[in-house]
C-alpha cells in the first residue's frame, strides 16, 4: 500500500506560484547566491579557525620553567646528556653572529604578520562577498518588483467594472505600491537568506563539532549544541503573532493612502465647505491607527533578536563552565566560542527571515484579491471576425444584477434599428446607464443576450466590439497628456489633419489654439487646466475622430453654455447621420427629436415611443418632463 504524499508546508505552497518572478532573474540570483556561499563560509569558519590555529602560535601557553628562573626546566629524574648539555641543540643550529633571542623574535614577528594578514583577508573576502551578494539581490529585487507591479497593473486593466464598485482607489493604489514592494522584499530576502544563512550555520556547526570532538569528545559537543534548538522557540512564537499584525498593518496603510487619494480628488469641495479641519482630523485618525499597527509589528519583530541573544548567552555561559571544568585550552575555547557565536547569528537572521515571510504573506493576501480575481469579461475562445458593424442593437430578455437579489435590469426586450436615435429616460437608478454599459460589454448579462447586427456581443473580441462604439460621458476624463494625445484616444493612428478636423467639428479648435502650446499643451491631471465645457468638447472631439457606427451620449452637452450647446447640437446632428445613437437623457430638451424614447423604471422598460406619444400615454414620462419645465 502506498503512503499518502507528504503535504507541502503552507508558506512554501503560498509563495511557490510567485517564484516565477525569481526565475526570470535566475542568473543574477545565482551569482548572488554564490557570493552568499563565500560569505557564509568566511563568516562561519574564518574566525573560529583563526582562534584555533593562529592564536596559539602567537600566544603560546606559559610554563613554570619559562616564567620562574629559579626552577629548572629539566626534571630531577631525567638524565642530561653531557654532549647536549655542553651545546644545546638550538644553539648548535644558530649561524654565526646569531643569538637564541634574536631567532625567537624573528619567528614571533613572522607569526604576528601572518595573523595580521589572516584577519583582513577574512574580512576582505567576507566584505566583498557580502557587498556583491547584497547588490545583486537588490538588482534582482527591483526587476522582480517591476514584473510584479506590471502584472498587478495589467490585471487591473482587464477586470470587469463590477470589481471596482466596492473597492476604493486609494486601497488599490496601496496594494499596487506598498504590498507589491513588501512581496518583492520577501521574495528576494527568502531567495538570499534561505541559502546564505544556512551555509553560515552549517559552516559554523561543522567547525564547532570538529573542535569539540577534538578536545573533549561527545560531551562538549552536546553541551555546545544543546541550546541551539531552544532558539527556535521564540522564532515560532513571534511568527505566529506577527502574521495577523502584519496583515492589519497593510490594511491601515491602505486606509491612509485611500484618505490621501480621496482628499486630493475633492480639493475644491474641501475649501468650498470649510472642511480643512474636518479632513485633517479624519487623516489624523487613520495615521494614528497606522502608528498603532506599526508599533505592534515592531514590538514582536524587534523582540526576537534580544530573546535569541539572551538564550545564546546562556548557552555560551554553560559552555564556559563546562570548558573550565574540563580544562579546555584557551585557544580551543576561544575557537569554540567564536563558532557558537557564528551559529547564533544566522539563527537570529533566520528568525528575522521568518518574520519577513509573515509580512510577505500578509501582503500577498491583499495582492491576491486582485491577482486571483477571475476575469469574467474576456475574449471568446473562438471569436467571430467582425469589421465595421452596421449598428443595429437588440436586447433579448436581458436581465442584470450588480448584487444578488438587486436587479438593475429585468427582462428587457428592445430593438434599435441601424441609424436610429434612441433616448433613455427615467429617474435616477432606473437602469439607463446600465443599459448603455451592457452594449459596451462593461458587464455581462445575468440572463438573455445583447446583439449587434444579429451577433451576440460575447462572440466578438472586446477590441472589435468597442472599436465600433464611441462614448461621450457626462463627466469626461482627460489624461495628464497633451491636448492632441487626448483627442487621439478616439483614433490612435489619426493624422494631424484628422485631429484638427475633429476638434473643429466639436468647436474645440478655437480654444485649443489659445492655449500656451496649442495642441501640445499638457492638460494636467484629469484635465485640471481646462474648464468643464472645454473638457466636454474634447470628449466630443474624440467621438468625431473615432467615427464609430454606434454612438453613446451621456448628456454630452450638459457642461456647455447655451451658445456652445447650440453649436454642438448642430454638429452632433451631422455626426449622428447614419449612426445608431443612444442618448442617456437628463435634460429633455435634448431628446425631442429622438426617433425612439425608452422610459425606464426600476430596471424595466415601462414605455417606448416618441416624445409626443409618451406625453399623451405615459404618466411617468409626462411628470418627469413637466418637473423640468416647472420653475425652481
Q: For 10-39, what is the mean pLDDT? A: 79
**Residue range 519-569, pLDDT digits in tens:** 998 888 777 788 877 888 888 888 888 889 999 988 766 556 666 667 667
At residue 536, the pLDDT reads: 84
Question: Which one is predicted more confidently, 214 or 402?
Answer: 402
For residue 113, give Cα distances in angstroms to 104, 107, 120, 568: 14, 10, 11, 91
Q: Is the pLDDT of residue 413 over 80?
A: yes
Please state, for a pLDDT cut of 70, what percent of the chain lies above it: 69
At residue 370, the pLDDT reads: 87
At residue 550, the pLDDT reads: 94
Residue 192's nearest CA partner among 33, 24, 357, 356 is 33
Residue 550's nearest CA partner among 603, 489, 486, 472 is 472
* Mean pLDDT, the chain, whole residue set: 76
Question: For the domain 393-629, what is the CATH superfamily, name and number?
Answer: P-loop containing nucleotide triphosphate hydrolases (3.40.50.300)
Residue 231's pLDDT band (cuts 50, 70, 90): low
At residue 456, the pLDDT reads: 94
Residue 362's pLDDT band (cuts 50, 70, 90): confident
Q: Determine how many CB atoms are found less than 10 A away from the CB of residue 160.
A: 17
Question: Which one is predicted more confidently, 353 or 580?
Answer: 580
**Residue range 143-183, pLDDT digits in tens:** 887 888 888 888 888 888 878 877 778 788 888 888 888 88
At residue 438, the pLDDT reads: 94
- How far apart (Å, rounded) are the C-alpha atoms in residues 199 and 457? 59
Four-way CATH pick for 10-60+105-371: 1.10.10.10, 3.40.50.300, 3.40.50.1860, 1.20.1560.10: 1.20.1560.10
At residue 67, the pLDDT reads: 43
Q: Is the pLDDT of residue 306 over 80?
A: no
At residue 106, the pLDDT reads: 46
- The residue whose grid cell reads 466578438 is 460
At residue 316, the pLDDT reads: 66
C-alpha cell at 354: 521568518
**Residue range 123-147, pLDDT digits in tens:** 788 788 888 888 888 888 888 878 8
CB 196 within 8 A of CB 39: yes
Residue 180's nearest CA partner among 441, 456, 406, 371 is 371
Strand-pairing partners, residue 452, are 393, 455
C-alpha cell at 9: 508546508
Q: Is the pLDDT of residue 276 over 60?
A: yes
Q: Is the pLDDT of residue 7 over 80?
A: no
At residue 79, the pLDDT reads: 45
Residue 219's pLDDT band (cuts 50, 70, 90): low
Q: For 279-295, what is the mean pLDDT? A: 81
At residue 80, the pLDDT reads: 44
| pTM for the model | 0.68
Query: How would you class 263 by CB atoms within 10 Å of its CB: exposed for 0-12, middle for 13-18, buried for 19 or more?
Result: middle
Residue 84's pLDDT band (cuts 50, 70, 90): very low
Query: How would you class 368 by CB atoms within 10 Å of its CB: exposed for 0-12, middle for 13-18, buried for 19 or more?
Result: middle
Residue 599's pLDDT band (cuts 50, 70, 90): very high
C-alpha cell at 526: 484629469
Q: For 275-298, what is the mean pLDDT? A: 79
**Residue range 430-466, pLDDT digits in tens:** 889 899 999 999 989 989 999 999 999 999 999 999 9
Residue 594's pLDDT band (cuts 50, 70, 90): confident
Q: For 190-208, what is the mean pLDDT? A: 73
By mean pLDDT, which of 12-16, 26-30, 310-314, 559-563 is the weakest?
A: 559-563
CB 596 within 8 A of CB 423: yes
- How far apart (Å, rounded) are the C-alpha atoms in residues 613 and 616? 5
Domain residue ranges in the chain: 10-60+105-371, 393-629
- How far apart (Å, rounded) are the C-alpha atoms in residues 363 and 358? 9
Amino acid at each position: 500500500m502506498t503512503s499518502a504524499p507528504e503535504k507541502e508546508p503552507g508558506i512554501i505552497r503560498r509563495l511557490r506560484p510567485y517564484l516565477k518572478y525569481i526565475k526570470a532573474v535566475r542568473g543574477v540570483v545565482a551569482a548572488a547566491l554564490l557570493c552568499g556561499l563565500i560569505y557564509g563560509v568566511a563568516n562561519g569558519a574564518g574566525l573560529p579557525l583563526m582562534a584555533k590555529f593562529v592564536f596559539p602560535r602567537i600566544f603560546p601557553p606559559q610554563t613554570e620553567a619559562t616564567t620562574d628562573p629559579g626552577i629548572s626546566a629539566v626534571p630531577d629524574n631525567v638524565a642530561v646528556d653531557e654532549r647536549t648539555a655542553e651545546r644545546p641543540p638550538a644553539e648548535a643550529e644558530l649561524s654565526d653572529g646569531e643569538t637564541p633571542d634574536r631567532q625567537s623574535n624573528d619567528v614571533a614577528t613572522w607569526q604576528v604578520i601572518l595573523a595580521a594578514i589572516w584577519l583582513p583577508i577574512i574580512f576582505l573576502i567576507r566584505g566583498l562577498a557580502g557587498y556583491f551578494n547584497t547588490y545583486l539581490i537588490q538588482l534582482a529585487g527591483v526587476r522582480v518588483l517591476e514584473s510584479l507591479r506590471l502584472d498587478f497593473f495589467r490585471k487591473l486593466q482587464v477586470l470587469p467594472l463590477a470589481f471596482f464598485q466596492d473597492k476604493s482607489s486609494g486601497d488599490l493604489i496601496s496594494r499596487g505600491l506598498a504590498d507589491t514592494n513588501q512581496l518583492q522584499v520577501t521574495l528576494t530576502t527568502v531567495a538570499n537568506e534561505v541559502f546564505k544563512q544556512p551555509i553560515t550555520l552549517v559552516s559554523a556547526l561543522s567547525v564547532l563539532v570538529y573542535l569539540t570532538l577534538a578536545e573533549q569528545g561527545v560531551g562538549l559537543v552536546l553541551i555546545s549544541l544543546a541550546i541551539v534548538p531552544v532558539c527556535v522557540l521564540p522564532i515560532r512564537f513571534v511568527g505566529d503573532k506577527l502574521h495577523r499584525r502584519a496583515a492589519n498593518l497593510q490594511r491601515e496603510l491602505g486606509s491612509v493612502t485611500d484618505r490621501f487619494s480621496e482628499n486630493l480628488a475633492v480639493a475644491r469641495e474641501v475649501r468650498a465647505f470649510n472642511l480643512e479641519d474636518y479632513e485633517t482630523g479624519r487623516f489624523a485618525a487613520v495615521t494614528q491607527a497606522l502608528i498603532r499597527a506599526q508599533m505592534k509589528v515592531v514590538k514582536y519583530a524587534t523582540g526576537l533578536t534580544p530573546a535569541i541573544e539572551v538564550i545564546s548567552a546562556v548557552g555560551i555561559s554553560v559552555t564556559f563552565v563546562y570548558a573550565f571544568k574540563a580544562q579546555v585550552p584557551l585557544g580551543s575555547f576561544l575557537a569554540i566560542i567564536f563558532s557558537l557565536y557564528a551559529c547564533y547569528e544566522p539563527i537570529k537572521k533566520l528568525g528575522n527571515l521568518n518574520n519577513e515571510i509573515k509580512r510577505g504573506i500578509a501582503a500577498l493576501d491583499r495582492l491576491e484579491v486582485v491577482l486571483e480575481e477571475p476575469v469574467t469579461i474576456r475574449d471568446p475562445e473562438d471569436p467571430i471576425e467582425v469589421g465595421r458593424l452596421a449598428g443595429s442593437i437588440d436586447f433579448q430578455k436581458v436581465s442584470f444584477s450588480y448584487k444578488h437579489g438587486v436587479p438593475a435590469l429585468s427582462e428587457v426586450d428592445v430593438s434599435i434599428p441601424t441609424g436610429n436615435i434612441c433616448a433613455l429616460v427615467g429617474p435616477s437608478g432606473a437602469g439607463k446607464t446600465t443599459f448603455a454599459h451592457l452594449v459596451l460589454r462593461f458587464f455581462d448579462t445575468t440572463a438573455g443576450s445583447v446583439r449587434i447586427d444579429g451577433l451576440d456581443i460575447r462572440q466578438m473580441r472586446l477590441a472589435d466590439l468597442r472599436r465600433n462604439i464611441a462614448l461621450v460621458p457626462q463627466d469626461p476624463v482627460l489624461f495628464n497628456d497633451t491636448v492632441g494625445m487626448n483627442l487621439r484616444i478616439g483614433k490612435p493612428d489619426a493624422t494631424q489633419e484628422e485631429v484638427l478636423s475633429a476638434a473643429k467639428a466639436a468647436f474645440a479648435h478655437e480654444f485649443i489654439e489659445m492655449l500656451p502650446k496649442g495642441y501640445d499643451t499638457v492638460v494636467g491631471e484629469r484635465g485640471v487646466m481646462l474648464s468643464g465645457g472645454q473638457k466636454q468638447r474634447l470628449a466630443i472631439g474624440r467621438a468625431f475622430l473615432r467615427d464609430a457606427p454606434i454612438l453613446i451620449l451621456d448628456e454630452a452637452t450638459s457642461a456647455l453654455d447655451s451658445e456652445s450647446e447650440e453649436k454642438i447640437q448642430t454638429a452632433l446632428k451631422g455626426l449622428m447621420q447614419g449612426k445608431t445613437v443612444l442618448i442617456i437623457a437628463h435634460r429633455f430638451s435634448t431628446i425631442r427629436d429622438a426617433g425612439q424614447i425608452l422610459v425606464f423604471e426600476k430596471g424595466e422598460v415601462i414605455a417606448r415611443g416618441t416624445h409626443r406619444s409618451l406625453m399623451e400615454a405615459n404618466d411617468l414620462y409626462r411628470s418627469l418632463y413637466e418637473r423640468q419645465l416647472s420653475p425652481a
